[in-house]
Amino acid sequence: MTLTLLAQAALNGFLFGGLYSLMAVGLSLIFGVLRVINMAHGDMMVWGSYLAFVLALRLGLDPFVSFGLCAAALFCLGVLVQRGLVNRVLDAPHEMQILLMLGVALVLENLALVVFGPETRRSESAYGLATVWLGPLFVDVARLITFALTLAFSLALYLFLFRSDMGRLIRAAADNAYGALVIGANVSRIYTVAFGIGAACVGAAGALMSALLPFSPAAAFPQTVTSFNIVIIGGMGSLFGAFLGGILVAVAESLGAVLLVPSLKELVSFILLVLILLFRPQGLFGGKTR
């Protein structure tokens, strides 16, 4: 076990972490604004992956180009799910909301299974195998591009939330939905947009990830659980926490895969999760507790 190997694993994890961040930011946005837990998060992600896969196969679009289209498509899916289903249970008890989203997750995952089959797939990308050497370490070009794109996507989201009127309203509704209603905000519209953006984030992450890792419908639920882990570790309702938590968990899993057995890497994030739940339930970067 050399230091180079560990540094290499940390670097790979770090570059992969942007995807985890994007995934978690989407979940955190939906939870922060609607107070609804999107159990279908990983399933939306898998649909993003399949869209990118189909676009690459039929139109020859590189996932690094098509991820915007996939995000737009998932935005629409998110809007539909919010308008048609989530909107009706906003005042229902938590467990009922969770069950509803579990139902959505089952439908989405198995729809993918019926349409695309159980085989694992991977999107074709021109940069799939390119690498650049950085001293003793090599940098996977696909991961580097992915990281840059997730960073750009997150930056655009940041500008939207903090510089645009709609973004400010979304943050206002997240802070205090009743107050937002009082100042005349259209809260129902805000909820729809926020859910759509959350779905778009995870759709973009799914499209980009499809070029890096093989995926299948069965990957959906584990991705949902990973997103939850990250959001809890980073701090529920904190978008920056979710972003940093994504990178942290990706690095931890990558190191875990080298130090333990690769198939045990998820154990690292679960143990991290249990520790956080017990000793710092507000998460690493989550300041306020509700």
Partner 1 sequence: MKWLLGIALLILLVLPNFLGSYLLTVFIFIFFYAYLGQAWNLLGGYGGQISLGHAAFVGVGAYTSTYLAMTYRLSPWIGMFIGGAAAALLGAVIGYLGFRFGLRGFYFILLTVAFAEICRLIVAHLEALGGALGLFITFTGDPWQFQFSDNRYYYYIALGLMLASMGIVAAVERTRMGTYLTAVREDEDASEALGVNTFGTKLAAIVLSAFLTGVGGTFYANYLFSLQPNTAFGIPLSVEIILRPIVGGSGTLMGPILGSFILSPLAELSRSYLARGGLSGVHLIVYGSLLIAVVLFFPRGAYPYLRDLFRKRGAA
The two structure tokens encoding residue 240? 């920056």
Minimum distance of partner 1 from residue 185's CB (angstroms) = 26
Minimum distance of partner 1 from residue 52's CB (angstroms) = 21
Contact criterion met (CB below 8 Å) for 39 and 98: yes
Reduce the DSSP state of residue 39 to 3 states and report it: coil
The two structure tokens encoding residue 69? 């289209």
| Residue among 93 and 135 whose Cβ is closer to partner 1 | 93
| Residue among 214 and 281 whose Cβ is closer to partner 1 | 281
What are the residues facing 121 on neighbouring strands? 215
Contact criterion met (CB below 8 Å) for 21 and 246: yes
| Residue among 96 and 159 whose Cβ is closer to partner 1 | 96
At 149, which amino acid appears?
Answer: L
Minimum distance of partner 1 from residue 176's CB (angstroms) = 20
What separation in angstroms does the CA of 74 have from each of 207, 286, 289? 10, 28, 31
Minimum distance of partner 1 from residue 278's CB (angstroms) = 5
What separation in angstroms does the CA of 42 have from each of 51, 108, 287? 14, 10, 27
The two structure tokens encoding residue 266? 């998820």
Binding site for partner 1 (CB under 8 A): 37, 85, 88-89, 92, 94-96, 98-100, 102-114, 118, 217, 221, 225, 228-229, 232, 261, 263-264, 266-267, 270-271, 273-274, 277-278, 281
| Residue among 10 and 102 whose Cβ is closer to partner 1 | 102
| Residue among 98 and 181 whose Cβ is closer to partner 1 | 98
Minimum distance of partner 1 from residue 122's CB (angstroms) = 21
What separation in angstroms does the CA of 272 have from each of 41, 225, 235? 21, 13, 13
Minimum distance of partner 1 from residue 223's CB (angstroms) = 12
Contact criterion met (CB below 8 Å) for 56 and 125: yes
| Residue among 25 and 81 whose Cβ is closer to partner 1 | 81
